[in-house]
Amino acid sequence: MAIQTPDWVKNAIFYQIFPDRFAQGTQQRLPYTIPLEAWSDPPTLQGYKGGNLWGVAEKLDYLQDLGVNAIYFTPIFQSASNHRYHTHDYYQIDPILGGNEAFMVLLEEAHRRDIKVVLDGVFNHTGRGFFFFSDILENGPYSPWVDWFKIEKWPVSAYNGSFPANYVGWDENRALPEFNHENPQVREYIMKIGEYWLNLGIDGWRLDVPFEVEVPGFWEEFRDRVKAINPEAYIVGEVWRDSRPWLDGKQFDGVMNYLFTAPTIAFTAGDRVVMDLVEGHDYYPYPALDAQGYAQKIESLLEMYPWEIQLTQLNLLDSHDTARLLSIADGDRATVELATLLLMTFPGAPSIYYGDEVGLPGRIDPDSRRGFPFEKEWNLEVLDYHKKLIALRHQYPALRTGEYKILGMQGMVYVFARILGETALIVAINAGTEKATAAIKLDPAVLKTQPSQVLYGDATVRWEAMQLYLSLPPRQGCILA
């Protein structure tokens, strides 16, 4: 059976939004006022800044101008946490975000601009405030929902850490009781949530820690039921490692591609990586890589999955689960530009974490979840190169679906081409601190043209027969067409 993935994802530029921190609507539409942290103050683990979906709707024109045509929201369902991974009700948008009314307005306004909307599905676990689990806390073994969770013995202790929880919580966190996916009623409940929001018009699901759900056939059924409603719906899993078990064409269309993230940071940031921001996490943007080491990592990644899957991977440089790249690279702006150039020219859908495009820093959670900066605080040079690179990706289909061919690597210079039919674009990166020259002999069977127009960046280009001579300033990259 041929693998089928959503065509729109191959042409998408995603923008990841952490809703509490992106934008507040100019009109307060809640029937009450609540105390909030000051927007520009450093974020805390548990405080709310009051970003909402009305605010996102008001910034859709900004996103469209940036070139974004898809949004991935971290969870927006009712919850007792600013990140909303502690779900209370899967059918209600959190009232602080504006409730279901705000979401439906946002969805309509996004679709009117041809912007897709993907929601975060937290289906491995829920919050202890989830109604079914609350019933267990009230009624113990007499609750009709006991078999929906992994209760080990009685009594359960959801809040008092002096006593054992006596139930399974994700990552041993008693605030996150795990569903019992062996229970067919639980399975059906989750399937119906997936269907419900698809029927209301969302364009896909990002699945939180889906590797924790090990019940045979679970994600195959989820895919079948989602695709029955919308064959073009996007299903992307949060899997940080080799994802071949889930990318067989029968489950997910892609994963959050941290196997691209890690070597891209290791190559562009090198020894600038602030180790205490990356050690102990599920990706490894270290040790530093030269061009040959980076090429080996990329070749391995491109051989790992079918091409149809490669084109619908969700590629990223950072997220709400990591420190921001600017901080990882110890404030080195050239790292971010080089990495963004590689992101925007790689097969799969690029994803920008809100604020990266205006130079927002951030160490590990909660600092990586700062309020989106006011316009006077934007780094306009960073915004400008994001716009240029996104526009080039939209302009040249080869950068989206063209074949990826590594052409050469010399020292810290990495050169590759994206080829589609008779069109070829060459991308070259000098990640080193010295001016570099590279001479690359090209096979005419691979590259039928000689791109020499500098579309982006700074380079001196010369061709002699099928020999390409490149001169690149330190810490610079270019795109040739």
Q: Are residues 297 and 445 in the same domain?
A: no
101 occurs within a structural domain:
yes
Q: How many CA atoms lie within 13 A of 119 on its CB side?
A: 26
Cβ–Cβ < 8 Å for 12, 394: no
In a domain, 137, yes or no: no
Q: Residue 165 falls within a domain, yes or no?
A: no
Q: Is residue 294 part of a domain?
A: yes
pTM check: above 0.75: yes
Distance CA 23, CA 26 (A): 9
For residues 281 and 189, membership in a common domain is answered with yes
Q: Which residue range is the domain that position 435 belongs to?
A: 402-480
Q: Say whether 65 is catalytic.
A: no
Residues 203 and 241 occupy one common structural domain: yes
Among 395, 419, 444, identify where a domain stops: 395
Q: Single out the residue in 395, 428, 463 at which a domain terminates.
A: 395
- CATH number of the CATH domain containing 452: 2.60.40.1180
Q: Are residues 458 and 387 in the same domain?
A: no
Residues 407 and 340 in one domain: no
| CATH code for the domain in which residue 36 is found | 3.20.20.80
Report helix, strand or coil for 62.
Answer: helix
3-state SS class at 311:
coil
Q: Using an 8 Å Cβ cutoff, are 336 and 326 in contact?
A: yes
Say if residue 431 is in the same domain as residue 359: no
Q: Would 303 be classed as within a structural domain?
A: yes
Residue 136, in any domain of the structure: no
Q: In a structure prediction context, what are the per-residue pLDDT tens digits for the chain, which is 481 residues long?
A: 799 999 999 999 999 999 999 999 987 677 778 899 999 999 999 999 999 999 999 999 999 999 999 999 999 999 999 999 999 999 999 999 999 999 999 999 999 999 999 999 999 999 999 999 999 999 999 999 999 999 999 999 999 999 999 999 999 999 999 999 999 999 999 999 999 999 999 999 999 999 999 999 999 999 999 999 999 999 999 999 999 999 999 999 999 999 999 999 999 999 999 999 999 899 999 999 999 999 999 999 999 999 999 999 999 999 999 999 999 999 999 999 999 999 999 999 999 999 999 999 999 999 999 999 999 999 999 999 999 999 999 999 999 999 999 999 999 999 999 999 999 999 999 999 999 999 999 888 888 889 999 999 999 999 998 899 999 999 999 999 9
Exposure string for 57-76, b = 16+ CB within 10 A, e = fewer = bbbbeebeebbbbbbbbbbb
User: Do 300 and 435 have their domain in common?
Assistant: no
Please pick, among 20, 94, 178, 238, the residue that the annotation labels catalytic.
238
Residue 115 covered by a domain: yes
Is 425 in the same domain as 368?
no
**Number of structural domains, the chain?**
2
> Please, what's the largest Cα pairwise distance for the chain?
82
Identify whether residues 361 and 409 lie together within a single domain: no
Q: 41 with 87, same domain?
A: yes
Q: Which member of 178, 203, 208, 357 is catalytic?
A: 208
Same domain, 360 and 222: yes
Which residues in 31-56 are b (16+ Cβ under 10 Å) and which e?
eeeeeebebeeebeeebbbbbbbbbb
**Does 451 reside within a domain?**
yes
The reply to whether 208 belongs to the active site is yes
Query: Are residue 268 and residue 412 in the same domain, yes or no?
Result: no
Last residue of one domain, picked from the residues 369, 395, 421: 395
